[in-house]
Amino acid sequence: MGMQVGGGGDEDEVVSAINTTPLVDVMLVLLIIFLITIPVATHTITVKLPMDANQPTRTAIDNVVIAVTSKGQAYWGETPLNGYADLETHLEHAAAQKPQPQIQIRGDMAAKYEAVGKVVAACQQAGIVHIDFITEQPHG
C-alpha cells in the first residue's frame, strides 16, 4: 500500500525557483523596526537656541565688579562685604539707579559654587537686569 504524492517525476530534480519567503520576512521586520524608531529619533521639542556672542566685555566706570575669593569672601569693587545682608543692601541701591549698572562677577577658580551662587541669587532678588561673569581666555 503505497501512496504517491506529487507528479511522479525524478526526486533528484533541481528546483530553479528561488524561495523568497525568508527574504520577505526579514525585510518586513526591518521595515517595522525603521517605522518605529524614526519618529523617536527625530522627535524633539522646538526651541530657539541663543546665538554665540562671545565678545570681550568693556569695563565702564558705571560697572560694578563683585569679586569672590577662593575662601568665599565677596568684595564690592575693592571693599570687602560683611555678609549676605551687606551685599543685598549694595545691590538694592544699584538696582534703584537709572540706568542700572552692569554687575560683573569675578569668581576665583577655586571658589565654591555656593559662594558665587549666593551672589547671583542676591542679584536676582534685587532686580538686577544685567549680570556678567568675568573669565580669562585659556592660555595656549
Element of type H or E holding 115: helix 113-126
Could you give all domains of the chain from N- to C-terminal order, each with its CATH number? 64-133 (3.30.420.270)
pLDDT for 17: 81
Mean pLDDT of 57-75: 83
Average pLDDT over residues 58-69: 81
In angstroms, the Cα distances linking 86 to 74, 83, 94 are: 10, 6, 13
Q: Could you tell me if 95 and 64 are in contact, meaning their C-beta atoms sit under 8 angstroms apart?
A: no
Task: Output the pLDDT for position 50.
Answer: 63
Looking at residue 26, its pLDDT comes to 93
**pLDDT band at 5, cuts 50/70/90?**
low
Cβ distance 65 to 106 under 8 Å?
A: yes
Residue 109: which residues within 8 A CB-CB, separation 6 or more? 70
> Based on C-alpha coordinates, what's the Rg of the chain?
36
Q: Note the pLDDT of residue 84.
A: 87
Q: Check if the beta carbon of residue 137 is closer than 8 Å to that of residue 129.
A: no
- pLDDT tens sequence across 74-128: 999 889 999 889 999 999 999 999 888 889 999 888 889 899 999 999 999 999 9
Cell numbers given for 134: 568675568
Residues 123 and 103 sit within 8 Å (Cβ to Cβ): yes
Q: What is the pLDDT of residues 7-63, one digit of tens each?
A: 555 667 777 888 888 889 999 999 999 888 877 666 566 666 666 566 665 666 778
**Residue 69, C-alpha cell as written in the block:** 575669593
Spatial CB neighbours of 102, under 8 Å, sequence gap ≥ 6: 60, 62, 63, 64, 130, 131, 132
Name 100's Cβ contacts closer than 8 Å, sequence gap at least 6. 94, 128, 129, 130
- What the block records as the C-alpha cell of 111 is 571658589
> pLDDT value at position 16?
80
